[in-house]
């Protein structure tokens, strides 16, 4: 090694840097990201990193003022689902009853405080499963669950819900051939991706793969990024899908369970491709649909676009003009101007194709 040249850091030194930063406290998400740089998190530091990513560090015990009554009409279903979750995990017998009570309390209090009726099909158990692996105290378990529900699970995440109409438009934008094929087969995204989105992939993926996906996704701090992870799963299966000759139900089953084929080695490429497609997507995708995520107090407005009736992904005029001014070869947007002839002739983009809506 030449004199004055710095020695490369030994393997694992970043883990020590991360541990030291977490131990000191006051560590923000940007600092954590700069240290981790997309690498796989060590299991013993995962809980602290996730809590930072979910912004629940130092949050109080929301359940402290609750009387602990487990008396919802759906309580027997909640208890049964919690019991089934614990049965799937390697939990020492002496810890099972306490853990079941923690999970049941989290779900019950969430239902009561948010005035939500519990149903197994909501998939909350699958969202709690990765959190249970962190061995969090009850207060942190609730705070993390609440943060995920509030920030990362879109509103109307059910059959024929708005999030799935939006995903179809994203698929159509990037993969029109694949989207057209699935439309022809009447295979809508909610028929195969309901549990992808509702559980952030934990429904089908192994515990290790789910943790790796959540490691990256929570650090992204972008709720819309899940759409691009979903998109890549379809893109990777495109050739198989287009060659399928089985019936609709078999094809749906194939698509629905495809995340189960993901291995730890696939996650880096999955995120890399998702980030590429994300960079090639109009900013309007997020801007026009930001109300899908966040507090219900800022819910969907009555005048929000009905995405089920949208012909394609909307792109704002300002974004088209900005893209048109940027240097670069190739067509970035193909603009179809559907205004009446009188308005079109009064002024239009020089490259626009005119299709008079009055004649359609």
Question: Which CATH number fits the domain that encloses residue 44?
Answer: 1.10.8
Position 225 in a domain: yes
Which residue segment(s) compose the domain that 186 sits in?
162-292
The last residue of a domain, from among 94, 128, 151: 151
Neighbours of 315 (CB within 10 A): 18
| Whether residues 198 and 251 fall in one domain | yes
* Helix or strand holding residue 337 (H, E): strand 336-337
Percent of residues, the chain, with pLDDT higher than 90: 70
d(CA 115, CA 185): 38
pLDDT for residue 180 is more than 90 = yes
pLDDT digits (tens, 9 = 90+) for 274-318: 999 999 999 999 999 999 998 654 445 544 567 888 888 888 888
Q: What CATH number should be reported for the domain holding residue 189?
A: 1.10.472.80
Position 45 in a domain: yes
- pLDDT value of residue 1: 44
Confidence of residue 177 (pLDDT cuts 50, 70, 90): very high
What DSSP string describes 167-200?
HHHHHHHH-HHHHHHHHHTT--HHHHHHHHHHHT
Percent of residues, the chain, with pLDDT higher than 70: 91
- pLDDT value of residue 190: 96
| Whether residues 220 and 327 fall in one domain | no
CA within 13 Å, CB half, 40: 12
Position 329 in a domain: yes
Position 253 in a domain: yes
| Whether residues 326 and 210 fall in one domain | no
| Whether residues 226 and 193 fall in one domain | yes
Give mean pLDDT, residues 113-125.
94
Position 157 in a domain: no
d(CA 331, CA 340): 25
| Whether residues 346 and 267 fall in one domain | no
Give mean pLDDT, residues 154-181.
94
pLDDT digits (tens, 9 = 90+) for 314-340: 888 888 777 777 656 665 667 888 888
| Whether residues 47 and 147 fall in one domain | yes
| Whether residues 108 and 170 fall in one domain | no
pLDDT digits (tens, 9 = 90+) for 64-81: 999 999 999 999 999 999
| Whether residues 146 and 254 fall in one domain | no
pLDDT digits (tens, 9 = 90+) for 235-257: 999 999 999 888 899 999 999 99
| Whether residues 251 and 336 fall in one domain | no
The last residue of a domain, from among 292, 325, 348: 292
- pLDDT value of residue 25: 82
pLDDT for residue 140 is more than 90 = yes
Q: How many residues does the chain have?
A: 360
Q: How many domains does the chain have?
A: 3
Position 5 in a domain: no
- pLDDT value of residue 310: 83
| Whether residues 21 and 55 fall in one domain | yes
Lowest-confidence pick of 56-60, 263-267, 346-350: 346-350
This prediction's pTM? 0.86
| Whether residues 128 and 253 fall in one domain | no
Terminus-to-terminus CA distance in the chain, angstroms?
Answer: 73
| Whether residues 215 and 125 fall in one domain | no
- pLDDT value of residue 6: 46
CB 179 within 8 A of CB 168: yes
Position 182 in a domain: yes
């Amino acid at each position: 090694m030449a004199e004055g040249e710095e020695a490369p850091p030994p393997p694992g030194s970043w883990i020590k840097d991360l541990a030291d930063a977490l131990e000191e406290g006051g560590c923000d998400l940007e600092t954590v990201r700069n240290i981790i740089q997309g690498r796989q998190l060590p299991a013993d530091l995962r809980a602290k990193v996730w809590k930072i990513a979910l912004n629940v560090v130092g949050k109080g015990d929301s359940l402290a003022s609750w009387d602990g009554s487990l008396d919802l009409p759906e309580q027997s279903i909640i208890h049964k689902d919690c019991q089934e979750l614990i049965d799937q995990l390697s939990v020492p017998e002496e810890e099972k009853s306490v853990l079941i009570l923690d999970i049941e309390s989290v779900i019950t209090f969430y239902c009561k405080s948010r005035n939500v009726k519990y149903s197994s099909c909501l998939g909350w158990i699958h969202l709690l499963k990765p959190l249970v692996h962190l061995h969090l105290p009850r207060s942190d378990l609730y705070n993390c669950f609440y943060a995920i529900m509030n920030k990362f699970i879109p509103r109307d995440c059910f059959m024929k819900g708005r999030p799935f109409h939006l995903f179809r438009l994203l698929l159509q934008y990037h993969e029109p051939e694949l989207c057209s094929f699935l439309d022809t087969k009447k295979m809508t995204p909610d028929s195969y991706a309901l549990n992808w989105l509702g559980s952030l992939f934990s429904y089908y993926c192994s515990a290790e793969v789910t943790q790796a996906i959540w490691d990256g996704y929570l650090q992204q701090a972008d709720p819309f990024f899940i759409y691009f992870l979903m998109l890549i799963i379809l893109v990777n299966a495109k050739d198989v899908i287009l060659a399928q000759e089985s019936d609709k139900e078999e094809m749906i089953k194939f698509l629905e369970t495809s995340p189960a084929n993901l291995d730890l080695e696939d996650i880096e490429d999955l995120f890399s491709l998702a980030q590429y497609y994300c960079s090639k997507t109009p900013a309007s995708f997020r801007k026009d649909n930001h109300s899908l995520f966040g507090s219900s107090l800022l819910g969907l407005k009555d005048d929000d676009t009905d995405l089920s009736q949208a012909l394609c992904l909307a792109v704002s005029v300002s974004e088209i003009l900005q893209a048109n001014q940027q240097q670069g070869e190739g067509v970035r947007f193909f603009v179809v101007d559907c205004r009446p002839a009188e308005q079109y002739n009064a002024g239009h983009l020089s490259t626009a194709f005119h299709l008079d809506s009055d004649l359609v």
